[in-house]
Amino acid sequence: MVFSSVVFLYIFFPIMLLIYFAVPKKFKNAVMILASLVFFAWGEIRYIFIMLILAVMDFICGKGIDKNEGNKSKQRLYLFIDVGVNLLILFFFKYADFIISNINAVLHIEIPLWNIPLPIGVSFNTFQSLSYIIDVYRGTVKCEKSFYNYLTYTTLFPQIIAGPIVRYETVDEELETKKISMDNFSKGMRRFIIGLGKKVLIANNVGALWNMIETSGYSEMSMLLSWVGIIAFALQIYFDFSGYSDMAIGLANIFGMDFDENFNYPYISKSITEFWRRWHMTLGSWFRDYIYIPLGGNRKGFPKQIRNILIVWFLTGAWHGASWNFMLWGLFFGIILIIEKVVLLKILEKLPKWTNHIYSMLLILVSWVIFAFEDLTKVKDYILTMFHLNDTSIVNAEGLYYLKNYFIIIIIGIILATPIVSKLFKKLEEKQTNIRSILITGVYIGILLLSTASLVSDSYNPFLYFRF
C-alpha cells in the first residue's frame, strides 16, 4: 500500500500534470477524467463501472428535469429515480450487512452476511451526486449540458475519496474555464505539501501511538494511558482528514479550480456549536441545506426543531459508518447541541474562554471514544478509565513510557492544531524579503522531503476517511 502511494504520488501524478498543462484547453477535462479513473482504479478497480453508471444516470435525470420545466410531476419522477438509485447503491454497499446482522440478532436467525467490500469514498460521491440533482430540481443551478463536463465533476479525483464535498455550483464555471496561472499553481503546491505533511508526519505518527494503545489490554490500561490514547486519536483523525482536504484543495488550485474549505481549526472551539461550524464544514452545510432546512429547520416551533436536529445528527452518525457507535456518536452531538441552544450557550458566554475551551475539548474527546470503537462495551470501559471510575490505576509504567516517547509529537500536533503557526507564516509571506522567501521555500521543501522519506520507510499509512 505504501509502495502504491509513493508510485502514484511521485511517478504517475507528475506525468499527469505535465500532460495536463501541455494539452490544449479543450482536452484538459479529458486528462482529469482519465487521471480520476486511474486514481480510483488504483484502490478499487472493480467499482469504476458503478461510478460511470451513476454519472450517466445523474446526467440524464438532470436533463430530464430541465426539459420538463413547468411539469412538476415529471420533474419529481426524475428526481425520485436519481435520488432513489443513488441511495440504493449507498445502502446496498454500506448498510446491507449491518441490517442483516441486526435482524439476525433480534430474531435469533442466521441469514448469511454478504461481506461486500465498501467502495472507497462512496458516501462522498453519493452526496455530491445528490447535491447536483436536488439543486437542478430546485432551480438553483442549471443542468449541465455536456456529459463530458459532468463526468469531470462527478469523478474529480482530488476529493472523490475523502472530500471535501464539492457542490456543482462551486465548480460549474470552472469546468469550462479553469483559472490556470503560476500564482494558483504555487498556491496549490504549498497547500498540497502542507496537507501531505499533516497526513504523513503528524497523523501517521500519532496514529501509530493510538493503534498500539487501542489494541492493548484494557484491564492493564491506566487513566493516564487512556488520555494519551484518545488525545493521539483526536490528533490523528484531525490531521488525517484535514490533511487530505488540504491536498485536495491544493490539487484543485493547481488545476485552476477552487474547492470549499473543510476545516477551520476546530480544536480551538469554545462550544460544541462552534466546533461543528469548524469541523468538516462541507458535510455540515450539506445536511443543513438538504435535510435540516427541508424538514422545517427552526421555522415550525421548538418541538419540531428538536426533532429535526436529532434526525440530522442521527443521519450524520449513520453517514460515517454502519455501526451503532456512529449513530450514538451523532446523537451524542445532537443532544449537546440542543442543550447548548436551549440554555448552555447563554451560560458559556458569561464564563472565561479557557473554561469554555476545556468544556468543549472534554466533550470532543469523549465523542472520539464513541467514534473509535464499534464495540459499545469498549466505549463504556474506556470512558470509565478516562475518569477513573473503575478499578484501573491512575498512572502505570506503560502510560509513562508512551507519554515520554510521544510527548514531542503530541505537543507539535497540539500547536499545529491552532492557528499560531499559520498566522506566523502569513506574516512572513506578507512582508517577504529574499531571506524570508528562501526560509519559507526551505520549510516547504523540508516538509516534502521528510514526508517522502517517511512514506518510503513507514508501513503505517492509513487514511481513516477512505472507509466512509
What are the 10-residue block averages of pLDDT along the chain, 468 residues in total? 53 83 88 83 74 91 93 95 94 92 93 84 87 95 91 80 83 84 90 93 94 80 94 97 92 90 96 96 95 92 93 95 95 97 92 94 98 94 92 90 94 96 81 76 90 75 57
C-alpha cell at 57: 444516470
Both 117 and 12 in one domain: the answer is yes
Both 320 and 408 in one domain: the answer is yes
Both 174 and 189 in one domain: the answer is no
Both 353 and 332 in one domain: the answer is yes
Range of the domain at 152: 2-178
Boundary-marking domain end, from 178, 212, 236: 178
Listed in sequence order, the residues at least 6 apart from 195 whose beta carbon sits closer than 8 Å to its beta carbon are 242, 243, 244, 245, 246, 247, 248, 249, 250
Both 362 and 256 in one domain: the answer is yes
SS (H, E, C) 86-148: HHHHHHHHHHHHHHHHHHHHHHCCCCCCCCCCCCCCHHHHHHHHHHHHHHHHHCCCCCCCCHH
Active site residue 357: no
Taken as a whole, the chain contains a residue count of 468
Boundary-marking domain end, from 161, 178, 195: 178
Listed in sequence order, the residues at least 6 apart from 206 whose beta carbon sits closer than 8 Å to its beta carbon are 232, 233, 235, 236, 239, 406, 409, 410, 413
What is the residue type of 263? F
CA atoms lying within 13 Å on the CB side of residue 420: 9
Report H helices in 255-288.
Answer: 272-278, 281-287
| CB-count exposure of residue 389 (10 Å: 0-12, 13-18, 19+) | exposed
Both 117 and 197 in one domain: the answer is no
Torsion, Cα 158 164 169 174, to 10 degrees, reads -30
Both 67 and 124 in one domain: the answer is yes
Number of domains present in the structure of the chain: 2
Both 190 and 173 in one domain: the answer is no
Both 206 and 94 in one domain: the answer is no
Give the pLDDT confidence score for residue 1 in this predicted structure: 44
Both 164 and 203 in one domain: the answer is no
Both 118 and 258 in one domain: the answer is no
Q: Tell me which of 280, 320, 357, 388 is the catalytic residue.
A: 320
Query: Rounded to an integer, what distance in angstroms lies between the CA atom of residue 446 and that of residue 443?
Result: 5
Boundary-marking domain end, from 129, 145, 178: 178
Query: Rounded to an integer, what distance in angstroms lies between the CA atom of residue 366 and that of residue 363?
Result: 5
Both 194 and 168 in one domain: the answer is no
Give the pLDDT confidence score for residue 154 in this predicted structure: 87
Listed in sequence order, the residues at least 6 apart from 137 whose beta carbon sits closer than 8 Å to its beta carbon are 65, 75, 76, 78, 79
